[in-house]
């Protein structure tokens, strides 16, 4: 069953700080908030993860940790998001064999989406749609139409990501995306809640 929840918020260096940004996500009723701290120490990530866990605990917002299943486990997160070069999803499930935990997976092509079907993650990321500087070594941009086609053809819950903001979101949704991720548009804003609500309004107009 493909889920329809709109914005999946990934937190990377938010100008307001991780706790305040997570609180904005909770205030807006977002389904998912992910902690993504690429170059930080594991101790620093765990410290922030525990703060975010405290903010999201008891709310309808699920807390996901990026890349590291052991950190996700240690923080008592709701799930982990794995990239193509991280621990294989089936291994992560065996390691963190707790009921109800969520496992997401990044995909960057038709072939990777096809391979993901056998693994049955709870959702997949599809992208990047547009070129994005949030990765040191970026995957090639899929473009709006190609990303939309992958999403429409997939039986999995998909999240379009990579360079999305309020100027291009409507076009991505029109091409077939249902759920989406915006990073810089929210992270670089001193008013993340305002940006979240604007993006969700664009999404709701398309639903």
pLDDT average, residue stretch 169-176: 97
pLDDT recorded at residue 137: 63
Task: Look at strands 102-107 and 123-126 and give their pairing.
Answer: parallel
Residue 134: pLDDT above 90?
A: no
Domains in the chain, ordered, with CATH?
Answer: 8-206 (3.20.20.70)
Per-residue 3-state assignment (H helix, E strand, C coil) for the chain: CCCCCCEEEEECCCCCCHHHHHHHHHHCCCCEEEECCCCCCHHHHHHHHHHHHHHHCCCCCEEEEECCHHHHHHCCCCEEEECCCCCCHHHHHHHCCCCCCEEEEEECCHHHHHHHHHHCCCEEEECCCCCCCCCCCCCCCCCHHHHHHHHHHCCCCEEECCCCCCCCHHHHHHCCCCEECCCHHHHCCCCHHHHHHHHHHHHHHHC
For the stretch 31-84, pLDDT in tens is 999 999 989 999 999 999 999 999 999 999 999 999 999 999 999 999 999 999
Question: What gap in Å lies between CA 146 and CA 126, rounded to an integer?
Answer: 10
pLDDT at 10 over 70: yes
- The token pair at 140 is 């090639």
Q: How confident is the model at residue 1 (pLDDT cuts 50, 70, 90)?
A: confident
Q: Is the pTM of this model over 0.85?
A: yes
Phi, psi of 81 (to 5 degrees): -110, 125
Dihedral, 161, 167, 172, 174 alpha carbons, nearest 10: 150
Q: What token pair was written down for 21?
A: 């940004």
Pick the closest to residue 7 from 152, 168, 165 (CA basis).
165
């Amino acid at each position: 069953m493909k889920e329809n929840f709109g914005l999946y918020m990934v937190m990377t260096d938010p100008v307001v700080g991780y706790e305040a940004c997570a609180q904005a996500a909770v205030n807006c009723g977002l389904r998912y908030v992910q902690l993504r701290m690429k170059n930080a120490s594991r101790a620093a990530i765990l410290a922030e993860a525990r703060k975010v866990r405290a903010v999201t605990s008891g709310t309808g917002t699920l807390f996901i940790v990026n890349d590291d299943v052991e950190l996700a486990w240690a923080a008592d997160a709701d799930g982990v998001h794995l990239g193509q070069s991280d621990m294989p999803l089936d291994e992560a499930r065996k390691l963190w064999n707790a009921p109800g935990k969520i496992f997401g997976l990044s995909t960057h092509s038709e072939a990777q989406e096809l391979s993901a079907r056998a693994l049955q993650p709870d959702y997949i990321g599809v992208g990047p749609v547009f070129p994005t500087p949030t990765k040191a070594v970026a995957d090639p941009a899929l473009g709006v139409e190609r990303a939309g086609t992958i999403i429409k053809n997939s039986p999995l819950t998909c999240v379009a990501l990579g360079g999305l903001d309020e100027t291009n979101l409507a076009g991505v949704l029109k091409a077939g995306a249902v759920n989406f991720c915006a990073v810089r548009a929210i992270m670089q804003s001193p008013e993340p809640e305002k940006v979240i609500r604007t993006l969700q309004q664009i999404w709701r107009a398309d639903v």
